[in-house]
Amino acid sequence: MERIWHPEIVPLELSDIWVNGATLWEQNGDLGFASALRHALEQWRIGECASPWNEPVPAAVPGFEAVFLSGGRSQDNALRAELSRLPSAVVFSEEPIFVGARGGFELLRARDLSGWVADWGQTQLKLAAPGWRRTFPRDGTRLHGGRGQSPSEVAAQRRRLREFIALKFQVAMAETSQRPNSVVFALPGAMADDGTPGGSSYVGMAGDRLLLPDALKQAGLAGLPLFVLNDAELAALGALTDERLAKFRKVLVLTLGFGLGAALIHRAA
């Protein structure tokens, strides 16, 4: 398993931006979320937006020239109208759900490999194989959310996470009559240098470094080349292939679904 770091993509944390006395995450379900997000981006662009812990805006972010929107919520007309008022260029993904698939396939081609791309968000798993794409909704009755669970609950959830991934890969192989030769797999939330997942809404995912290798083994795909990264970074890989963004050196990539993901494309001079 290899943790992917692209030299022109900077992972970012958007949820903790402080706007109007609360974080963006705290306002995520509010009617005024679109306005709060626009205000936050305007401030981030000039380097003046703070977090609750007074952390500065990441050094590379100020002065971004364009914003690229993906994810299911990016299709919301009210949000589109609000963000279109930003002073920078705003580009909406033509494939808001599967924007990462294009970037994942390009990543494999650069390594002379072929395979599949899996993008696991907070509400669904998106699987893409050559000529085939499908979404698998999260089973909320089996894959629990929340914090503070007992060790036994964490162990049970880790088993179920593996079962969920393995079963969906088996379904995909049956439907496509294909087997992947390699896999690009994106997970929600932060990720360590060795590919260990950080926190997310899935109980048990955090700290479970063997989650993906074990799940692929359970699906009958042991030993495949496996490349892992954050879901916003995968969206940024997809954005790198979008010709509408080619003229911009600094592009802020946002993934808007159940959660809020962000990464910056910072092209070399």
CB burial of 6-21 (b: ≥16 within 10 Å; e: otherwise) equals beebbbbbbeebbbee
In this prediction, residue 230 carries a pLDDT of 93
Q: Give φ, ψ of 40 to 5 degrees.
A: -60, -45
CB burial of 56-69 (b: ≥16 within 10 Å; e: otherwise) equals ebeeebbebebbbb
In this prediction, residue 8 carries a pLDDT of 94
Cβ(103)–Cβ(118) under 8 Å?
no
β-pair type (22-23, 18-19) = antiparallel
Structure tokens at 27: 């306002």
In this prediction, residue 232 carries a pLDDT of 93
In this prediction, residue 50 carries a pLDDT of 65
In this prediction, residue 52 carries a pLDDT of 64
Question: Strands, E, within the chain: which ranges?
Answer: 2-3, 9-12, 18-19, 22-23, 66-70, 89-92, 116-120, 124-129, 132-137, 183-187, 226-230, 250-256, 260-266
Separation CA 14–CA 19 (nearest Å): 11
In this prediction, residue 210 carries a pLDDT of 96
The secondary structure of residue 191, as a DSSP letter, is B
Summarised one tens digit per residue, pLDDT across range 192-233 is 999 999 888 889 999 999 999 999 999 999 999 999 999 999
Structure tokens at 118: 């899996």
Please report which residue ranges of 19-86 form alpha helices under DSSP H: 33-45, 77-83
pTM confidence score: 0.92
Summarised one tens digit per residue, pLDDT across range 38-76 is 998 998 899 887 666 667 788 889 999 999 999 888 888
Summarised one tens digit per residue, pLDDT across range 97-127 is 999 999 999 999 999 999 999 999 888 999 9
Strand partners, 126: 119, 135
* Length reported for the chain: 269
